[in-house]
């Protein structure tokens, strides 16, 4: 038995997942071992997930490695990560100063409330 990486378009209901399918934020959408039903395929298509790992008994199956399959859509950069990046730039020359590190940490903890124009 091997784990095979396949395109959604090449499979039908009844295949068994060889790895978890994750959402963008790391939540398990479908767990390893799930027998895929049509409703699951519909969900995967709606989320534009193009490939999954399935369990295969065929001899030509390949070793899938450790990559998890996630939604292939590019994740939008969150406001928080933009703010943190900006703060890192603003503080880059003073971060070795103990007080300024504390100030950076405080500002970073408020990143959700900060807006960058």
Partner 1 sequence: MTTPQEIIENISELPTLPDVVAKVNQLVNSASASAGDINDVISRDIALSTKVLKMVNSSFYGFPRRITSITHAVVILGFNTVRNLTLSAFVFKAFNDSKRLEFDQKQFWIHSIAAGITASNIAHGVGLSQKEKEDAFMAGLLHDVGKVVMCEYISDSTKKIIEEVKATDCLFYEAEKNQLDFTHASIGATLLEKWNLPISIVSLINNHHHPMSVEENKKMCCIISLSDILVRSLCLGNGGDEKIPVIPDGLLDELAIGWGDINGFMDASLHEVKKASVFIEMLT
Q: Site residues (CB under 8 A) for partner 1?
A: 83, 86-87, 89-94, 97, 99-100, 102-104, 106-107, 110, 113-117
Residue closer to partner 1, measured from CB, 45 or 101: 101
The minimum distance between CB 88 and partner 1, in angstroms, equals 11
Q: Do 73 and 22 form a contact (C-beta atoms < 8 A)?
A: no
Task: Please state the closest distance from residue 94 (CB atom) to partner 1, in A.
Answer: 5
Which residue's CB is nearer to partner 1, number 66 or number 117? Answer: 117
Instruction: Give the C-alpha separation, 75 to 71, whole Å.
Output: 9
- Nearest approach in angstroms of CB 100 to partner 1 is 5
Residue 91 is classified by DSSP as T
Rounded to 5 degrees, φ, ψ at 106 are -65, -45
CB burial of 79-98 (b: ≥16 within 10 Å; e: otherwise) equals eeeebbeebeeebeeeeeee
Of 8 and 84, nearer to partner 1 (C-beta) is 84
Least distance in angstroms from the C-beta of 96 to partner 1: 10
CA–CA gap between residue 8 and residue 22 (Å, rounded): 15
Residue 8 or residue 107: which is nearer to partner 1 going by CB?
A: 107
């Amino acid at each position: 038995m091997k784990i095979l990486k396949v395109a959604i378009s090449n499979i039908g209901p009844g295949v068994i997942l060889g790895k978890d399918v994750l959402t963008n934020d790391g939540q398990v959408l479908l767990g390893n071992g799930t027998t895929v039903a049509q409703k699951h395929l519909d969900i995967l298509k709606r989320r534009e997930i193009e490939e999954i790992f399935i369990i295969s008994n065929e001899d030509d199956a390949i070793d899938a490695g450790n990559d998890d399959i996630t939604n292939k859509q590019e994740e939008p950069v969150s406001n928080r990560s933009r703010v943190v990046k900006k703060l890192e730039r603003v503080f880059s020359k003073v971060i070795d100063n103990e007080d300024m590190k504390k100030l950076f940490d405080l500002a970073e903890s408020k990143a959700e409330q900060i807006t960058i124009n």
